Amino acid sequence: MRAGISISIREDENFTRFLTKNANLGSDVIKVVKEHGANMHQLAQQYAPVDTGFLKRHIKLDNKFHGMTYLAVVSGNAEYDPYQEYGTRYQPGTPHLRPALYNTEDKFIEDMDRLVRGNT
């Protein structure tokens, strides 16, 4: 015996109206995620300490899908990036990724909230 889930949907006027109204919500969400990911990437590069420019050049933005989830991942790919971000016991850090996140997150949440409230 196999376990399974069966779902049936009857056509409902309210449900049809909801789907029609929210048909573009997914693409709007992707647009907001891309926009704020790019902004965070730019800020992280701006905040990065520059000696040779290697650290700044190795801050990457990677946009990708994971199932139904769209991600914008900003990462420091230089081997010594964590030491710059957090410091060591011998020197304080020069944070660049965290400040970029902190300066991006409120506007991102605001834009996502506006999207969801405006489309439901």
In this structure, are residues 81 and 58 in contact, taking their beta carbons and an 8 Å threshold? yes
For the cut 90, the answer to whether the pLDDT of residue 52 exceeds it is: yes
Q: Write down the pLDDT at residue 5.
A: 53
Q: CA 96 to CA 103: how far, in whole Å? A: 11
Q: Where are the domains of the chain?
A: 25-109
Q: Write down the pLDDT at residue 11.
A: 60
What count of other Cβ atoms lies within 10 Å of the Cβ of residue 43? 20
What confidence tens digit (pLDDT) does each residue in 62-120 have? 998 876 678 899 999 999 999 999 999 999 999 999 999 999 999 999 998 888 787 54
Q: CA 22 to CA 39: how far, in whole Å? A: 26
Helix (H) or strand (E) holding 63: strand 59-66
For the cut 50, the answer to whether the pLDDT of residue 3 exceeds it is: no
Residues 6 or more apart from 104 whose CB is under 8 A from it?
36, 39, 40, 43
What confidence tens digit (pLDDT) does each residue in 30-47 have? 888 999 999 999 999 999
Helix (H) or strand (E) holding 76: strand 69-76
Q: Write down the pLDDT at residue 65.
A: 82
**Band of pLDDT at residue 56, cut at 50, 70 and 90:** very high
For the cut 50, the answer to whether the pLDDT of residue 1 exceeds it is: no
